[in-house]
Structure 1
Amino acid sequence: MKPIHFFNGSYVPKESITFSIDDVGVARGYGIFDYFKVYNGAPAFMEAHLSRFENSARLLGMEVPFSREEIEVAIAKVIRHNAFPLSGIKVLMTGGNSPDGFSAGKPNLIITNTAVSETNPSFYTEGVSLMTHRFTREMPEIKSTNYATAVRLEPIWKQKGHVDVLYHDGELVSEVSRSNVFLVEGNKLITNEIGVLPGITRMNVLKMAPQLGFEVEIRAIALVEVFAAQEFFMVSTNKRVMPVVKIDDVEIAGGKIGPKTKTLMEGYSKRLAEEISQPPFQS
């Protein structure tokens, strides 16, 4: 059975989804998306992701051409039809065909459902390393389709043995290219909120942290603090809570995963299991 996807009200195979070269999403990078995982038919934190998608549209001045209910119905249909054990849902909206090569047109809305593999388990038992790069993302509070810097840097960080890139402005860090960051100081969990995407995994970690005995502090994080951190980790839909044990050539906390990070990794796994234990889509 061939997988189906949603394209402007129709359910079609992926190869039938096409854009005009005049679409400002293609020609000008004017587009947004959101992404979440689906575990055996159960979408994880779907409502929060769709709310962020709608907020990204509002901040970018775009109008979503379908209602929340219509989008949820479409998501349910592609999930049921495709029946992947583990997959990702991407809700993508482009600015539409431009009448003059610059102005936006009627938006295109696409919902894809694609099978994915589990993240490398050694990342959670051994930790990972990041490369630093001086860069400030445009409109960081919007989940736009512009990842040009990250795509350009990917071959470089892979060649150096890293899994991603940590952005900074020369003094303060902002985020990893597709993840929020946290550092641990005693029982204090520190993260930033200015100049970063409001991550859904970040939101869940902040909610559960006090229940696990952490004091939460939201403030700017200096790059020098990161190199001297007791523990440091990043969070995202794909990475969940992922320990970082090395940045550039500097080991964090002796290159070992810290006990507080392990506590948060276990706590988030339980939170995720609770979320997907009751699928919202019933036959």
Structure 2
Amino acid sequence: MTRTVYVNGAYLPEGEAKVSVFDRAFLMADGVYEVTSVLGGKLIDFPGHLARLARSLAALEIANPHDDDAWLAIHREMVAKNDLEDGMIYLQVSRGNPGDRDFAWPGAEVAPTVVLFTQSKPGLADSPQAGTGIKVISIPDIRWGRRDIKTVQLLYPSMGKMMAKKAGADDAWMVEDGKVTEGTSNNAYIVKGGKIVTRQLSTNILHGITRAAVLRFAREAQMEVEERAFTVEEAKAADEAFITSASAFVMPVVEIDGVALGGGKPGPVATRLREIYLDESRRSAI
């Protein structure tokens, strides 16, 4: 089945979708994106993704091309046109096509480029890795200083994924000044003595939408949460660890740099949080 994609107001077969070679996302990585998970044909954490999209666009001085109602309508149309039951919707907004390459960005006369496409992932919430956990390695964090803006500058996270693959692991945790910042495409957590520890919000990490929901659910379940940076050595000595993201939800981490956590099996806190997150997110999906 050929996917239907969205490009600047038009719903097109993916083979007919085109974006200019002068688009600034292509030439300058001058754009932002969001990924919303879909379970049972409904959007997960959608208001949070829209709020972060607006924040990212404002930080780069790119006009938001739609209001929240219009974004919702487009996403629902993408679900319907692609018969999407479980999977993800990728949304990208760039500064657009100014007609030529220039480091200085254009003014308001150039409209943003808007692209959406779907990725079907049957059984997305039933990943076998949730039962086995994942392995991570640590790598230096050499990204730019505004990681809180969800830009399409993803080369180093992509390199990190490949470093992990070559090391026989599943992902990488990035480290700056001796402290873990985040995973290549997720937020990082450890658990010690029942306490959940994760890095505090700042420009150093992405303000994860799943992160916000998981921490809220954890506190509602009377779990203790401490928002602070932690070291790799502290992580290796933890009782358990996990990551959160829009597509992985809550995923246990069972090994860091070859050191097994919790006997190499998913821990009770991560396992319970995944259950709570999926239950609550399905309940509030739109």
User: TM exceeds 0.5?
Assistant: yes
Aligned to 2:271, the other structure's residue is in SS state helix
Distance 1:87 1:121 in 2: 12
One-letter amino acid of the counterpart of residue 129, structure 1: K
Separation (CA, whole Å) in 1 of partners of 2:274 and 2:229: 23
Q: Give the percent of matched residue pairs that are identical in Structure 1 and Structure 2.
A: 26
Residue 158 and residue 117 in structure 1: after superposition, are their counterparts in 2 closer, same or farther (change >3 A)? farther
Q: 2:254 aligns with which of 234, 245, 254?
A: 245
Gaps of 5+ in 2: none
**Alpha-carbon distance between aligned partners in 1 of 2:18 and 2:50, rounded to the nearest angstrom:** 23
Instruction: State the match for 1:29 in structure 2.
Output: 29
Which is further off, 106-115 or 176-185? 106-115
Partner of 1:229: 238
Report the CA distance between 1:176 and its aligned residue: 0.2
State the shift of 1:228 in Å: 1.1
Tell me, what secondary structure is at the counterpart of 1:125?
Answer: helix
Deviation for aligned residue 1:174: 0.4
Match of 1:7 in 2: 7
Other-structure match for 1:206: 215
Take 1:117 and 1:155, find their aligned partners in 2: how far apart are those partners? 25
Q: Would you say the 8 A contact 1:97–1:104 is kept in 2?
A: no
Deviations 1:33-83 (A, max 9, x none): 000111232111111111111111011111122222222221121211221
TM-score by length of 2: 0.90
Native 8 Å contact 1:22 1:101 kept in 2: no
Give the structure 2 partner of residue 161 of structure 1. Answer: 168
Does structure 1 residue 109 correspond to structure 2 residue 114? yes
How many aligned residue pairs are there? 277
1:275 maps onto 2:284 in alignment: yes
CA RMSD of aligned residues (A): 1.8
Cα distance in structure 2, aligned partners of 1:173 and 1:92:
28
Does the residue aligned with 2:57 lie in a helix, a strand or coil? helix
TM (normalized to structure 1)?
0.91
Return the offset for 1:24. Answer: 1.5
Q: For residue 229 of structure 2, what is the aligned residue in structure 1?
A: 220
CA distance in 2, matches of 1:28, 1:235: 29
- The offset of 1:170, in angstroms, is 4.2
1:95–1:108 Cα contact (<8 Å) kept: yes
Q: 2-side partners of 1:185 and 1:62: how far apart?
A: 42
Query: Residue 148 of structure 2 aligns with which residue?
Result: 141
Partner of 1:123: 129
Q: Distance in 1 between matches of 2:176 and 2:260?
A: 21
State the match for 1:152 in structure 2. Answer: 159
In structure 1, the residue matched to 2:270 is 261
Residue 55 (str. 1) matches residue 55 (str. 2): yes
Aligned partner of residue 19 in structure 2, secondary structure: coil
Task: Tell me, in whole angstroms, the C-alpha distance in 2 between the residues paired with 1:22 and 1:2.
Answer: 26
Show the counterpart of 1:188: 195
Cα contact 2:90–2:116 (8 A) shared by 1: yes
Query: SS state of the match for residue 27, structure 1?
Result: helix
